[in-house]
Chain A
Amino acid sequence: MPVSGYLSSFSLSEILQFAQEGNKTGLLTIQSLPNSTQEFRRYFIWLNQGRIVAAADRTDYQGLSTMIIQRKWIAEPQLQSLIQQCPLRTPLGIYLKSQNLLSAEQMKLLFSVQIIRQICALFELIDGSFQLKSNVRMPYLEMTGINIPATDVTLPGLRNLKNWSALQEKLPQSMSGLLGTVQGMPTIQLNAQERQLWEFTNGQMTIAEIAKRLDRSIEEIQRTAFCLTVAGLAEEIPFIKAESNAQDVELQTTSPQLPSSAFLKHMKGFFKKQVKSESTVVS
């Protein structure tokens, strides 16, 4: 069953996090709403095991070859002939590189234009629908052979985002803290602001306190915190100020004292009877 919804409720950054954490393979289709004030756009992102392998704004599998022709790296007739010769289940980029027709640098550039730039532009979409469908054919003619974790486009996409209104409700609360989910420094490159905040992902301070410490606005920190959470680098932990005493502290670190097994057995029997009598009434 495809996963679908609207970007207004489940944002692109959340979808990418979902795809990566769920090791999803399939085709993610993003499209602006027909009645939207924005120009109608439809984009396709192919995923394999939670990694992005291709992206295009067309489904004729001609996106990559068009980029190569536009750059005059290979003449169109020659490329069309090579496409015919490209072995099955082999990304076109890998085949062209094996024929010494594309260099590693050219492949990287194609991938950057095809994936990073196109997907980053999608973060600007204020609203739209999405569908993630599994059991689709991999678009070998659209693939360079390079792939990246789905969330690797999240940080560049969000860093350039100008209008945050659609994500306002998703931002971590000012009274929440952050807890890092990776040991040491993340492998993904962080910018200065993200690195600064990363130092505070120990669950000890609230976002409001961090903002004060770093002399930045709470909203700025909330946005950076959102970036870290959807990139899978940190989790939001609410800090709830409540009166505490020694007994409560103990409850935080140990399992609660359970009722006796006899009590639980009685309770289970009671509920079983309830279910049985209800089902008798229903039937």
Chain B
Amino acid sequence: MALHLYGTPGQARFDFMWDVLIRKAHAYILLVPANRPGEFRNARVISNFMRQRTKAPMLIGFTHLDCSGAWTMENMAIALGYGSPLIKRPAMVEVNPTESMSVATAIMALIEHL
């Protein structure tokens, strides 16, 4: 059994990588730092791009929820454009990318949505 996990930065200068990776992805996780509201607009734009580009299941992983100034998952969902009940909200989980257990839990959550 082989599972390939790829990561790419969210800054626009790396956008060519988003496209390369999403083409054959079976599923993907969009990581959003809860304590950096300045990044929410960019995350929203990436989410828009991915939804246009693929029908692969998306999971939103919120990081840094334990940091000061962190927004709640519900409020971040709204900031990312999932406030309206008319828009289907993707699965959302808390994840700490520096802890393997947390990452494994997030991937299990993603598999459940496949």
Chain A residues near B (Cβ < 8 Å)? 1, 3-5, 8-10, 14, 18, 21-23, 169-170, 172-173, 176, 179, 203, 235-238, 240, 242, 248, 251-256, 258-259, 263-264, 266-268, 270-272, 274-275, 278-279, 282
B19→A240 contact, CB < 8 A: yes
User: From B55, which residue of chain A is reached at the shortest CB distance?
Assistant: A255
Q: How far is the CA of A253 from the CA of B78 in the complex (A)?
A: 26
Query: B104: which A residues are within 8 A, CB to CB?
Result: 271, 274-275, 278
B56→A274 contact, CB < 8 A: no
B1→A5 contact, CB < 8 A: no
B54→A252 contact, CB < 8 A: yes
Q: Does B29 contact A (CB under 8 A)?
A: no
Q: Does B91 contact A (CB under 8 A)?
A: no
Which of B3, B56, B83, B100 is close to A21, meaning CB atoms less than 8 Å apart?
A: B83
Query: B72: which A residues are within 8 A, CB to CB?
Result: 1
Which of A21, A179, A203 is close to B78, meaning CB atoms less than 8 Å apart?
A: A21
Q: How far is the CA of A256 from the CA of B53 in the complex (A)?
A: 11
Which of B18, B26, B36, B83 is close to A9, meaning CB atoms less than 8 Å apart?
A: B36
Query: A242: which B residues are within 8 A, CB to CB?
Result: 16, 19-20
Give me the 3 closest cross-chain CB pairs, A-B, nearest first.
Answer: A9-B38, A21-B83, A22-B78
Which of B38, B40, B41, B108 is close to A268, meaning CB atoms less than 8 Å apart?
A: B108
Known contacts A238-B12, A267-B1, A256 near B54 by CB under 8 Å: yes
B45→A240 contact, CB < 8 A: no
Q: Does B79 contact A (CB under 8 A)?
A: yes
- B60-114 contacts to A, CB under 8 A, are 69, 71-72, 75, 78-79, 81, 83-84, 100-101, 104-105, 107-108, 111-112, 114
Query: A23: which B residues are within 8 A, CB to CB?
Result: 83
Query: B18: which A residues are within 8 A, CB to CB?
Result: 238, 240
Minimum CB–CB distance for A129 against chain B, Å: 11
Minimum CB–CB distance for A182 against chain B, Å: 12
A3→B71 contact, CB < 8 A: yes
A270→B48 contact, CB < 8 A: no
